[in-house]
Chain A
């Protein structure tokens, strides 16, 4: 499986040297027109388009709000409400009324648990599936069969087996985040360049040395892609799972506010979910670039 991850040209610039070199001509053409003083164009290009994009979203939102006669609250109202919500994110007024901070933290905890267990199982499984053809042939049909299943379909099984909402939600996260990690790790192991394996064979390295000095570093970028996809999916799924299981969590919060017909809070929740997902993704991209090496064949 190949990961499809959206990159804007700017994020490419920030994360890879290749992006930087392709950006250089643009800066160079701008420089001669303004030989003295600082060249502000790159800064403008970095700030202005995202602001316009954000403005477009808010404008569209305001338009929809006025068209629905206020059943969708205006950006301004929501903004006021957001200030209120974020001014006290960690209050506790009973099991079903807790601050947005607690909700996010509880969701993140479930994601971390489910995801951590999936990593613990999925990454070693990916290694052996990639390394041994027999196991690959044995497990590939199972993976192909189970992977397309919506993780939420596993929720009843989780509820039945674990007899509790919280473990069932964690189980759902486990199921949805294990596949990208198994598959990407296995593909990574299978794609370790034959040259490296030939080096290992000529040097007659031990199996342990091969695993630690060749396989693991070579697979790491693939593995991290798997991890990134897994965290992304887990964060998507937790919201839905919590809507069904209840308890404290950002997904439950959305559902609770829907029952209260508090649409402002739902919109705030959408932004919170988006923001947290963005941070998770960005952090993992940073980790991944720190562990990517230049290809030897270049």
Chain B
């Protein structure tokens, strides 16, 4: 298996049936993602970023084209490709512990003892520094904490790929920065392959190895791919006045606002 082509997206096209007829969401998507790579999908609202992520997750199947993960066709969702949802999607009737345990039990339940499963759950919550909230329900904790539980649930399954759909979009700037730093640490530790949908330019440049910039929908496609060659570990404070960082940032902004700026017309 070629490590550079861990996830392969070939000629993918996605069309939705709507009340007004067929809606072409994506066309001609060609993308390879290497093992351990951090990829950000960025673009304006409605450009099909989330659609592409759902295709990789296997939640939807493409109208045309093929998606491969580790040389096997993605036929449906599975715990090897964990998803962190935009609105965290924790089950409100379960405690944080049980929410995380649910995934762990599914993946490791057949091979490990209950005590081991519980230890894994505790470790996952500790990783996102939420051990103290383990017995709380999602309704009793803040938005940032919920998102961290969502990340813990996804990471605890030790997925090959971590898919994140605007995971920090609903959070305030300070919480978001803190979680981004935590995510950088976790990803460095676990060497996970990550695909993250975002509309935040700084987030994309700070976190990614590769930024995939999408054109405006309908029938959106990949406009440009930017490789971010900043050394890791990255510190947001040091990068703030790094000339290279500013260049990457400008390149993305230039794409989003100069070349794909006519978002009102498209929407």
A contact residues vs B (CB 8 Å cutoff): 193, 195-196, 198-199, 201-205, 209, 213-214, 217, 293-297
Contact = CB atoms under 8 A, between A and B. Distances in A.
A220 to B, nearest CB: 8
Interface stretch (B28-36, B90-98, B205-213): B90-98
What's the interface size class on B, roughly?
Answer: 20 to 34
The secondary structure that dominates the B interface is loop
A199 B59 CA distance: 10
6 contacts: A195-B87, A202-B79, A202-B83, A205-B106, A293-B92, A295-B92
Contact of A204 (B94, B106, B139): B106
Contacts of B89: 193, 195-196, 198-199, 296
Given A198-B83, A204-B78, A293-B92, 4 more contacts: A201-B76, A296-B90, A296-B138, A297-B87
A295 B89 CA distance: 10
Interface string B81-115: 11101011111111000000011001000000000
A204 B77 contact: yes
Contacts of B91: 196, 199, 213-214, 217, 296
Interface of B: 57, 59, 76-79, 81-83, 85, 87-94, 102-103, 106, 137-139, 146, 157
Nearest to A199: B89
A16 to B, nearest CB: 13
B85 A199 contact: yes
A69 B137 CA distance: 63
Contacts of A213: 91, 94, 102
A202 B78 contact: yes
B77 A201 contact: yes
A68 B157 CA distance: 78
B93 A296 contact: no
Contact of B93 (A198, A201, A217, A297): A217
Contacts of A196: 89, 91
Most central of A193, A199, A204, A209 by chain B CB within 10 Å: A199
Contacts of A295: 92
Nearest to B83: A202
A195 B92 CA distance: 12
B79 A203 contact: yes
Given A195-B87, A198-B85, A217-B93, A293 B106 contact: no
A204 B110 CA distance: 14
Contacts of B90: 296
Contact of B106 (A195, A203, A297): A203
Most central of A193, A201, A202, A205 by chain B CB within 10 Å: A202
